[in-house]
Amino acid sequence: MKLKIYNSLTKKKEVFKPINKDKVRMYTCGMTVYDHTHIGNMRTYINTDILRRVLEYSGFEVKQVENVTDVGHLFGDRDMGRDKIEDSARKAKKSAWEIATMYEKEFFETMQALNVKMPTIVCRATEHIKEMIDLIKKIEKNEFSYKTSDGIYFNTSRIKDYNKLSGMPLEKLREGARVEKNPEKLNLTDFALWKFSPKRGPRRQMEWDSPWGIGFPGWHIECSAMGMKYLGEQIDIHTGGVDHIPIHHTNERAQNIAATGHPIVNLWFHNAFLKVEGQRMGKSLGNFFWMKDITDKGFNPLAFRYLCLNTHYRSETNFTWEALDAAQTALNRLYCEVSIWDPLTNTAIKTGCTEYEKEFLNAINDDLSIPKALSIVWNLFKDNQFSTSDKHKTLLKMDKVLGLGIKGVEHLEISEDVKKLIAEREKLRKEKNWREADKIRDQLGERGYLLEDTPEGTIVKGKL
Ligand code: AMP
Ligand code: ZN
């Protein structure tokens, strides 16, 4: 089966055809670094990582470019609110630059803890102001922009299929924009390419000179400018969360068309939202969690990754602490069993479990059916017709996609005193002295050993 991925633009699962034979150019919308990283953000980056790993598993070389939004993203995603980073800086009594640096660092540390691969290129908006100005100049030259008292705006009525990505009727897109009340805009969906620094109120910390006056870039222009700079005028895949479809990505697409005369992105990949207790996360609702809340409670960050893999990327998922607890238990069980499997000292002589590998490949090729792929992993665990070293070889291969840290599981050498206690327990069991036998099991349990009584005797299933 060939690799098929759902394309938000065509609203179909499509056989993936790269522009270059074996190289894939992928652009990932990155974080706005004004606060801690929340669990919803990370669901999107985990699934984007899965996409990248699936492409690599299929033999493609992936060049992944990811931006860091460290300027220009206003509250409300429209063009009238306060700047998220400047606002956060004021509250924390730090500079906007310090805020951006601090949260960017935290974001990439979180990515690492979640086994999300680092992008090939990370690019900050503030380091690409020149590229953005050049792109706005092109858009202006092609007559897709106009000036108002507060900035340079994009005229969305100049794009024939402006609403193609969202598939929403123009009327509905306009309704979303109506809250903003900017009487100078020609169309409700028009958006800022460049905003002038306000003449009144506190002076902005982040502002630059431009052909139109001192100001800062609109939120959408950075992704068009940096995408084209690092990936060229044809990009295979562009990724982000579903919230970006009607505004950010719709506007990015419009800018690309205005500047080059053609769309740039072939496949738009969007990740569905993570909700908490069935609702959209909101600080006022008290259902808002940062990634650090998870680690503060002692969970392995990879348990959150496991939890995310349990739901297909195009389905909404509901976060609960119970579900995270269950994910942690499942992950522990995986680690535990792998620790007693034969270590792979000589993988070359092992064939692995090819049938399972085939099934796994079919699952991931079917629009990244990771929940199915996980169920295949569990079937492999239960299957005793293969040697544990064959299973180990196959699991390590599968984990190149899943990224659950199987490679780091240490082999468990069972010490002499543990072996002695198990033998003693066997003897007690034969004598039907269940009380004493249970005591030994509990004693070993406290030391983290998981025992299983089989018809052939008691075996150690691993150590937690
Ligand atoms: P932002 O910094 O707001 O641009 O968000 C970074 C990424 O996280 C974007 O791709 C968003 O679409 C995504 N995102 C934000 N909230 C959620 C959520 N609750 N569930 C899944 N993805 C989200
Ligand atoms: Zn973007």
Ligand nearest to the backbone CA of 27: 2
Find the helix packing angle between 129-141 and 221-231, rounded to 10°: 100
pLDDT of 361 above 70:
yes
Domain borders along the chain are 4-271, 276-408, 416-463
Q: Judging by DSSP bridges, how do beta strands 61-68 and 23-28 pair with one another?
A: parallel
Helices (H), 279-369: 291-296, 301-309, 321-338, 354-365
**Is the distance from CB of 35 to CB of 88 less than 8 angstroms?**
yes
pLDDT of 371 above 90:
yes
Provide the 8-state DSSP code for 161: T
Provide the 8-state DSSP code for 74: B
Beta-bridged to residue 99, according to DSSP, are none
Those residues whose beta carbon sits under 5 angstroms from the ion ligand 2 are: 29, 223
Residue nearest to atom 9 of ligand 1 (CA): 241
Compute, in angstroms, the gap from residue 125 CA to the centroid of ligand 1.
Answer: 17
pLDDT of 388 above 70:
yes
* Chain segment 9-18, per-residue pLDDT in tens: 999 999 999 9
Ligand nearest to the backbone CA of 315: 1
**pLDDT tier, 445 (very low <50, low <70, confident <90, very high otherwise):** confident
Kindly state if the Cβ of 240 falls inside 6 Å of ligand 1: yes
Scan for tokens 């000179």, then name that residue. 209
Kindly state if the Cβ of 44 falls inside 6 Å of ligand 1: yes
Report which ligand 1 atom has the smallest distance to the Cα of 240. 10
Question: Mean pLDDT across the chain, nearest whole number?
Answer: 91
| Residue 33 identity (one-letter amino acid) | V
List all residues 6 or more positions away from 179 whose beta carbon is below 8 Å from its beta carbon: 76, 78
Q: Which of 31, 33, 36, 41 to mutate to test the pocket of ligand 1 (most atoms within 8 A of CB)?
A: 41
Ligand nearest to the backbone CA of 317: 1
**pLDDT tier, 247 (very low <50, low <70, confident <90, very high otherwise):** very high
pLDDT of 285 above 80:
no
What is the model's pLDDT at position 306?
98
Domain 4-271 is found in CATH 1.10.760.10: no
